[in-house]
Amino acid sequence: MKEITIRSGRVKDLPQVLELIKELAAYVGLSDQVENSVAQMEVDGFGDNSVYELLVAERDGAILGTSIYYYRYSTWKGKRLYLEDLVVKESERGKGIGKLLFEATMKKTLSEKCSGMMWQVLDTNKTAMDFYKKYNAKFDRAFINYGLESESIREILK
């Protein structure tokens, strides 16, 4: 197998990255939830007020996986890296690509002087949970996620 390179993502990677995101959504049975587009990802990640960064795993110009993250602030812990998605192309799973991406993301956490990193896993994604257990990641049952979609917010604020 040819060498895999882990590097910062570029605008030209976004079409392949969005395909990975859609593949993950299909894997967990939530394809209907993907509303993002390459154009929006370009604005959000490479525009004047970028809100996320990404690493990619690449071999021969093909993007095999990605780690998409951003920084958040915890009033208790300070600056934290939030791993939004760690995705490896289904045909490439089990080859160590996820490990390379995850460990590169951990290094980014330290280089950016974050107090730690955090992420969420769907309770149905046992493969991901097993992956993170190898790193002795802490599982937190105390916090319950809440959210509002922009459509709901508009309706509430009418």
Boundaries of every domain in the chain: 5-156
The pTM for the full model equals 0.92
Average confidence (pLDDT) per 10 residues, the chain, 158 residues:
90 98 93 96 97 97 97 97 96 95 98 97 89 91 88 95
**Residue ranges in 73-149 assigned as alpha helix (H):** 97-111, 126-133
- Interstrand relation of 78-88 and 117-119 (parallel, antiparallel or unpaired): parallel
Closest CA to 22 of 11, 33, 12: 33
- Told to judge if 132 belongs to the known catalytic residues of this protein, a careful annotator would answer yes
Q: What pairs with residue 100 in β-bridges?
A: none
What tokens were used for 76?
């208790």
Q: Which of 27, 71, 82, 132 is catalytic?
A: 132
What tokens were used for 65?
């996986």
Task: Give the class (CATH, top level) of 5-156.
Answer: alpha beta
